[in-house]
Structure 1
Amino acid sequence: MSSFQFNAKSQKVNQLCQETIDILENRTEDEVKKLVDDFQKFWKEYQQQKKLSIAFIGQYNAGKSTLIKALTGDESVRISAEICTDKVTEYAWQDVLLLDTPGIYAGNTEHDDITLERISKCDLLVFVVPNELFNPQGAAFFQTVANQMQRVGQMVLVVNKMSRESGSPEDLLSTITQIIEPYHSQDFYTCFIDADSYLKSQDPKYIKYQQSLQAKSNFNDFLDSLQKLIQKNELSARLVTPLHRTVDTLDKSLNFLSTGDKTTRDSLEILRRKKLIVQASETRARNAYRSELAKLEHEVIMLRERIASKLDGHHTEEEIKEELEKVTKEITLLSEKTLANIQSSLISELQRLLSKIDELKNSPLAQTLPEELRNFLLDGTLVEELEINSVDGKRVNDPNVDGKKVNASNVGDKIGKSILEKQSGKILQELGKLSSKVSRDLVYNVGKFLGIKFKPWGAVNGAKFIKGLGPVLAIGGVVLDVVMTAKEEQEYQENQRQLREARNHVREEFRKLAEEMRKEYELNIEEAISFYDEELNDIENKQQELRNFDQSKHEILTQIENKRQEIKQEIKQLIK
């Protein structure tokens, strides 16, 4: 972008920012006034700021702080395996301002809000993931930042902690491509590094290994990616960042002005907080079970070498089968242990979710709402079900709790008369149409998950697996005799080829088995925790109904939406 083009575009950006202020500044609502004041303050400070700002964002414990410390050499940067960044911290680097942000979706909604707020103020982004790549929430967040927040071309994707990775970057790219579609890895200056190795290379204690550590870190690739990002965006970012902030201000104004009274606005805020609590719980539940299943899959795959190593022409078929039987028993024990861990973590998470919703119910904001409305918004059938199914830490599928039979029909008795019979207000009438569907499925699904259908990999599966490998195992015995009597080189080479194929076949079968076990267990678990999605859908439906109550501000809402779309189109043009 030339200086002439920059000046012309700068005038357009100033115009859009001023038009946004013009639309909102005459509103009398305190909340809108504050949004306008905050935007004007940002706009003034940003015009005075000469340095580009780069926010380091991503999943917690991905190594964002380590990366900043490696980049700046600043010893004050805190590094820990625990979550140690709970606020935005600024660091100077060359002519750039680096910002370390809290990890997103780690179960702390305040941290998420801090990071999201800062993204709208920053020029460029560095999105950091560990070598395990994106967890489901991290993937969704990346897609939100790239697409909804229009940050393609303004962001570097860094895969950190590669010293822990046995595969190559090429092996990881296929997974990354699925997340970032329809874009390519080059669109995000993607690089694979190990920041910790680079830090060690700068430590005098490791001076002997400095060169190998630096090579292992691949840190120069990150520096190249960062410099390319800065060079491409050093002018356009100065134009786009104010527009990102403008869109953020319009979004918040739109959400606020879509409601017409304080009770409705407070109800929307309560639902927003409840949604974050449920999402955080869903994240923790999924992260916990997927971690256990990934560990199980890896352990099953590793067991294959005990069989493959015996397909060497020196072990009989009986010896190989005996070892395989031992391995299948170990797989059963591993699966039982994994399922027990998952069951325990899910019960704990359901109880934690219940506690968090109870805290929200007793918050100062919730206490300002009528009791019936508060209970309807925050209890619902999800909380009633969780209370029934997690009494005093007992098993979720225990049919008797303190001697009382528990089933879905008890829920109605526990709630009592319909809230609508107690209060006939418009809000409750509308919300009453959207009562949660969770009650019909939660007890059944969680019960099924904890034993009715969800069984460990046992003797029956083990027998089938052994039978399926029978022809391959026989090769071991056959080849043994041939090898002992073979005299010609050609025959010997053929024997070795057969053994290699047999070993490869065994390894592939174990890989398939491990993958099938993980997928089958994951399918059952997802069915058991489907109530999360149903509850989130219910919350969103209630939010939409609340926003539709008051259409008196149709004109201002139309102006805001039109301006919002115009600015988003301008952003799209600037970041091409």
Structure 2
Amino acid sequence: MSTLDFEKLCYVFQDTKELLHKYCDQQRIESLSRRLEAYRSGDKPTILIYGVYNAGKSTLINALTGAESAKTADKPQTDAVSSFHWKSFELLDSPGIDAPIPHQEITDEQLQKSDVVVFVLASRGESEELKTYEVICKQVKRKRRVAIVINNKTGLDLQSTAMMALQDKIRMNLQSAATKEGLTNILGDVPILLVNAKSAFKAKVEQKNKLLINSGLPELERQLYSFLEETSAGDVLRAISHELTELLDSAHEKCQELGQASDCSGIDRLINWINEEKGLIQATLNAEITRTARSLKSRAIPALEQAAGQAELSASIVRISEEGSDVIQHKLEEELGRFAMNFQAKANTYLPTELPDNSLNISLTVAPEGVIGTSNDSEVNCPSKIDPTILNLFSKAVESIQKEEITTVLKLGKEYFPKAFKGIGPVKMDRMACKAVDIKNIFSGGGAKAAQSATSSASKGASATPKAGFPWLQVVVDIGVAIYSYYQAEQEMQRQVDAMKRRQQAIEDNADTFCSSFRGQAEEVIKSCINEAFDPITVKLTQARGSKSGEARVLEREAAKIREQMATLSNLSFA
């Protein structure tokens, strides 16, 4: 690996360090930083002796160093990472797998820092632990150099069939775990070494050469040293680069998750649903207002017809308005209640994550009681009460004709029909008017007395010879007067009927005015109430959308930067 590639690796780490600290485990970042510094300083690869806590890790270290440097026991003894010198390498002893939780955490932390991992498996029990093989394969996948040391605690002959079967079983377990991780050359990547660590340590201390050879330690040291020497700078940096790639991939995944959470489509769908509900409630309330206004009109008409005065009429209209207001207010409360019940379910569906301020409360209010109705300064123009005796005038209309009116008609007759009225002067017109009144009384039901008087007058004047043309003129006048009187009464009756029609129309018009005023004001009040209920929600959601949009843009820029640097790492050469 060239120095330029190493510098590029360092640059990628420094360029993305802030993002890594933002999205990744801090411990892993610090461990990676120390490994880069160690490599820059020319340090040897970090070698961790790893395995189940009683597999014989410390015993192996003691056998390699030829001194009882590491504590040994069947129970966990190591609660910290210890360093031991062997040849030109530093070996690190760890608490091990399945140690007490505080010890396990120490082991996991050191595992992140190591370049080479030597797994110690006992020849009994632990070799069957699938979890151990899973950990081994994960380290291989992370480009660590890994070796397995079988600690022959059972004292099997290293050349025996039983030992061969044990090794085959370990390889089989390795292959099974490697398949899950997508590794295809696990047997070539992980050498398997054999030793009886306890016998080896005893042989070294007591200087028993034959026991030392039989323990397998000399062969183990040769193979282990060769394995560690083969761990080149490229292997170390390949592992570091892979670790950095893993961190960047984790940071990118986190950005993607947050970006999805910052997606505004959910908020947009919720806002659209709220607007649809708002329009539906407004339409429902307007229809209710129209129905109520029609109902109020049917009640306002009798109030206008029967009220004895302005005070009584005002009281009636106020009462009717308040009752209509109650109906509409009840409907509004019903509709807002329905909306509130559906809102939380919709919010949970469209907003799987919380809004920036972690809450979305809604407050649905309705108009105070009695606010819907005619305003205080509005006036209802109702007609004054018409005297009930107006109805009696229809039956008395004929009796209102007077002698003077008939005389006037005769004068008009002479003016317009001069030949027919030739020779008839004012005095005769007066006598004719009197006679016409008598005839009129007969026609109008004046009684027997009137008829008798008329007959007597006719008898007395029978001996007199009338002037030529007068008899037929008399008849014409008499009939004309009767006709005039009749139609005069008809006209009076028609005037009364027309007056009643005008009065009724005035009542209808004023009832319409009242209902129109009620409907208009009710619609305005309801619109205001609905806006007051919905606007805070939509404003809050719109603000949240703006905040999320800004956050989404930042996350996309960060994700793009991470992708760019991951591409840079993939182009580095570690040969």
TM over 0.5: no
Q: TM-score, normalised by structure 1?
A: 0.42
The higher radius of gyration belongs to 2
Q: TM-score, normalised by structure 2?
A: 0.42
